């Protein structure tokens, strides 16, 4: 009597390889002794071209289309399924969106294994979450309906513009609770650890203890992996974290949210360089869940979501905005200079000085935002005014302190014997004033008032409500107990004059982040911005209307055919590598080629532009060309970036 032999189990494995031509799934036999333990999402070791490589089992089948001999899986690293089907599909979509490899995205999505943590007792399922009150969202048009839609398991997509002084972590926690109270998960992403700490506290307060986890590299490998497993095993459905948390394996996802989507911290510095906002929006589309894009300002990308009808704007009416916003005073136009001729050269113009004095007199703190860290980041010759440069590398010299010797900002070499090569003078003057020098000058000007600095690796978490002065760099402004009496925005030219497509948008975003910490105008809050009041960025701050600026900026970029109105790609590498890549690729009529343009002595950049409709096609062409070129084992690497943050 004949019996049919059972069909062997075949695993489709994503092999960890950086080579574009290997960006596909490979079939491997599952050994009989591992058949009961190997399952989709687990880590394995496989033999590939004579080497033992790591990989993830994506799926299991009973057969293979490959007609050659299949190799068996060499080792089951862990039978813990760490990669869900939803996250695997998301990773593939993100890789395709950014012309990258699936293995590179999976490296971002799944944290490194901690064997000891896997052996620990699994976390218990979180308790019941109570539906939150909607009072905080009622002062925004479409705010309460947004929460109601989440509670009814619908999928609202909104762009929320928070008013000044808003407790945004609590609003985020309420949105997460509205989703989780009805059996759906929530994923909340913030730019940095400071924001995550605030959101963590708000979630614990609104949801209750042990009903959410935080995913962040700052937590440490073991704690991060423990939190990841709690989510993957279904014990927790609410996750907060920084950009890598976009891939958290939340079950029954009902909401994805991102705070301050214009912050550079949301852009991944590793290939394929995805942006957290785009990952979350892709996930919302694939999972069919709600989406919340929020911030003090509004990015042009968020404005595009509103203009296209993909998302609804959640904003407060003008009366509410006026009640919440501080008084904004611009300093720097012709009328100001005519009234006070010395203010143009003063470090602290008269209106800023008076605003600080008034706040300190009322026993309120003062926030001073200055764009540059250090003491004197750039110096020049007193006599001929030429920039002081390092004799070794021609880098700019800086002064670390009042008594310090000049130091090169590029190579770090001291220049104690510096002498101007043009006129021979040894004396130096300030070109750019840093936060340390600003704090020193303010300490002398306001004797007896405590002066604190916040920036770099010394960031204050919070300041008290008493009289003090805080000098902070953008992004390092600590909130004050009852708000700042005055916020002074200095050296605005340093942000506005950057050679960057996003210079004005980024400047306004940073100004709003500082100005939103001020008290309302009725409570004495004043913001002094040292810039011409006629500039569109200053006008947007004066009117506290970031949507107006975002609409204007998006219209300009649409007319000039710049992102986000179009899709652009950047190819960076040596001239030979760029030429090789271009000879392989076939762009077609829908792709416009710009360049190449030199970046430095050894590399150049080629820009490619196409419509948003053809964006996926461009990414496909780039990945195909990269795969063809990788077969030849080229020596020089070409860096591919879709929608790069910097275009030149």
Binding site as annotated, residues for Zn(2+)? 381, 384, 390, 393, 408, 411, 420, 423
Read off the DSSP letter of residue 198: H
User: What's the per-residue H, E or C state across 16-60?
Assistant: CCCCHHHCCEEEEECCHHHCCCCCCCCEEEEEECCEEEEEEEEEE
Angular region, 188: left φ>0, alpha ψ -120 to 50, beta rest: beta
- The β-bridge partners of 367 are 470, 487
Binding residues: 381, 384, 390, 393, 408, 411, 420, 423
* CA-based nearest residue to 212, from 190, 185, 233, 247: 185
Q: How many angstroms separate the first and last alpha carbons of the chain?
A: 75
* CA-based nearest residue to 439, from 449, 424, 431, 426: 449
**Pair of tokens at residue 53:** 């490589």
* CA-based nearest residue to 250, from 201, 200, 180: 180
**Pair of tokens at residue 371:** 């764009």
State the sign of the Cα–Cα–Cα–Cα dihedral 245, 246, 249, 253: positive
Q: Mark 446-478 as b/e (b = at least 16 C-beta within 10 Å).
A: beebebebbbeeebbeebeeebbbbbbbbbbbb
Going across the sheet that includes 43-48, the strands are 25-29, 10-15, 51-61, 43-48, 73-78
Q: Dump strand ranges (E) for 418-554.
A: 428-432, 451-454, 469-472, 486-489, 526-529
CA dist list (Å): 435 to 202, 387, 417, 456: 31, 20, 26, 10
- The β-bridge partners of 487 are 367, 527
CA angle 102, 107, 109 (to 5 degrees): 90
Who contacts 256 (Cβ-Cβ below 8 Å, separation ≥6)?
Answer: 186, 187, 188, 189, 246, 280, 281, 283, 284, 289, 290, 291, 292
In whole angstroms, give the CA distance from residue 622 to residue 628. Answer: 10
**Pair of tokens at residue 367:** 């926030």
In whole angstroms, give the CA distance from residue 326 to residue 485. Answer: 9
The neighbour count for residue 432, using CB atoms within 10 Å, is 18
In whole angstroms, give the CA distance from residue 550 to residue 521. Answer: 24
CA dist list (Å): 167 to 136, 257, 338, 403: 9, 16, 41, 43
Who contacts 571 (Cβ-Cβ below 8 Å, separation ≥6)?
Answer: 578, 581, 596, 605, 606, 607, 608, 622, 638, 639, 640
CA dist list (Å): 240 to 173, 218, 457, 589: 10, 13, 23, 43
Who contacts 53 (Cβ-Cβ below 8 Å, separation ≥6)?
Answer: 15, 16, 17, 45, 46, 47
Read off the DSSP letter of residue 157: E
On the 0-12 / 13-18 / 19+ scale of CB atoms within 10 A, 526 is buried
């Amino acid at each position: 009597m004949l019996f049919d032999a059972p069909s062997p189990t075949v695993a489709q494995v994503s092999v960890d390889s950086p080579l574009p031509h290997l960006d596909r799934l490979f079939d491997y036999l599952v050994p009989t002794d591992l058949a009961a333990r190997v399952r989709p999402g687990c880590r394995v070791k496989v033999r590939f071209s004579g080497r033992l490589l790591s990989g993830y089992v994506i799926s299991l089948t009973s057969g293979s289309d490959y007609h050659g001999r299949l190799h068996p899986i060499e080792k089951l690293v862990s039978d813990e399924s760490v990669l869900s089907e939803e996250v695997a599909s998301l990773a593939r979509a993100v890789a395709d969106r950014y012309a990258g490899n699936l293995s590179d995205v999976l490296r971002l999505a799944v944290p490194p294994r901690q064997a000891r943590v896997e052996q620990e007792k699994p976390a218990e399922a979180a308790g019941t979450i109570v539906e939150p009150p909607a009072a905080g969202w009622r002062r925004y048009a479409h705010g309460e309906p947004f929460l109601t839609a989440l509670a009814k398991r619908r999928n609202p997509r909104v762009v929320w513009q928070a008013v000044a002084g808003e407790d945004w972590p609590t609003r985020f926690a309420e949105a997460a609770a509205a989703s989780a109270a009805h059996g759906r998960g929530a994923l909340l992403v913030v730019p940095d650890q400071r924001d995550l700490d605030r959101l963590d506290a708000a979630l614990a307060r609104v949801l209750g203890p042990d009903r959410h986890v935080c995913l962040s590299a700052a937590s440490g490998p073991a704690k991060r992996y423990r939190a990841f497993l709690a989510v993957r095993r279904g014990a927790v459905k609410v996750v907060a974290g920084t950009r890598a948390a976009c891939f958290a394996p939340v079950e029954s996802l009902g909401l994805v949210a991102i705070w301050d989507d214009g912050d550079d911290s949301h852009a991944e510095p590793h290939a394929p360089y995805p942006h957290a906002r785009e990952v979350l929006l892709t996930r919302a589309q694939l999972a069919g869940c709600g989406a919340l894009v929020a911030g003090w300002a509004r990015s042009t990308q968020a404005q595009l979501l509103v203009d296209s009808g993909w998302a609804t704007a959640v904003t407060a009416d003008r009366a509410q905005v006026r009640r919440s916003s501080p008084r904004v005073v611009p300093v720097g136009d012709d009328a100001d200079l005519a009234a006070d001729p010395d203010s143009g050269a003063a470090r602290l113009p008269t209106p800023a000085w008076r605003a600080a004095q008034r706040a300190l007199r009322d026993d309120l703190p003062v926030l001073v935002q200055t764009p540059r860290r250090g003491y004197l980041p750039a110096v020049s010759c007193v006599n001929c005014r030429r920039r002081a440069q390092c004799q070794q590398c021609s880098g700019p010299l800086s002064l670390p302190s009042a008594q310090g010797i000049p130091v090169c900002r590029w190579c770090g070499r001291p220049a104690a014997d510096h002498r101007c090569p043009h006129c021979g003078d040894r004396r130096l003057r300030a070109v750019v004033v840093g936060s340390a020098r600003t704090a020193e000058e303010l300490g002398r000007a306001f004797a007896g008032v405590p002066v604190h600095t916040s920036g770099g690796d010394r960031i204050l978490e919070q300041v008290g409500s008493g009289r003090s002065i805080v000098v902070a760099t953008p992004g390092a402004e600590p909130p004050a107990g009852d708000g700042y009496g005055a916020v002074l925005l200095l050296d605005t030219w340093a942000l506005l004059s950057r050679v960057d497509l996003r210079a004005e948008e980024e400047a306004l975003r940073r100004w709003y982040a500082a100005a939103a910490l001020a008290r309302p105008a009725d409570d004495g809050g004043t913001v002094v911005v040292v810039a011409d009041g006629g500039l569109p960025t200053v006008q947007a701050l004066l009117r506290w209307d970031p949507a107006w600026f975002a609409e204007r900026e998006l219209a300009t970029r649409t007319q000039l055919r710049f992102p986000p109105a179009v899709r652009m790609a950047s190819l960076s590498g040596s001239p030979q590598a760029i030429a090789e890549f271009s000879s392989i690729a076939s762009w077609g009529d829908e792709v416009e080629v710009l360049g190449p343009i030199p970046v430095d002595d050894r590399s150049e950049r080629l820009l490619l532009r196409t419509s948003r409709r053809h964006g996926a096609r461009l990414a496909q062409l780039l990945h195909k060309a990269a795969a063809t070129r990788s077969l030849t084992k080229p020596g020089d690497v070409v860096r591919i970036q879709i929608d790069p943050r910097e275009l030149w």
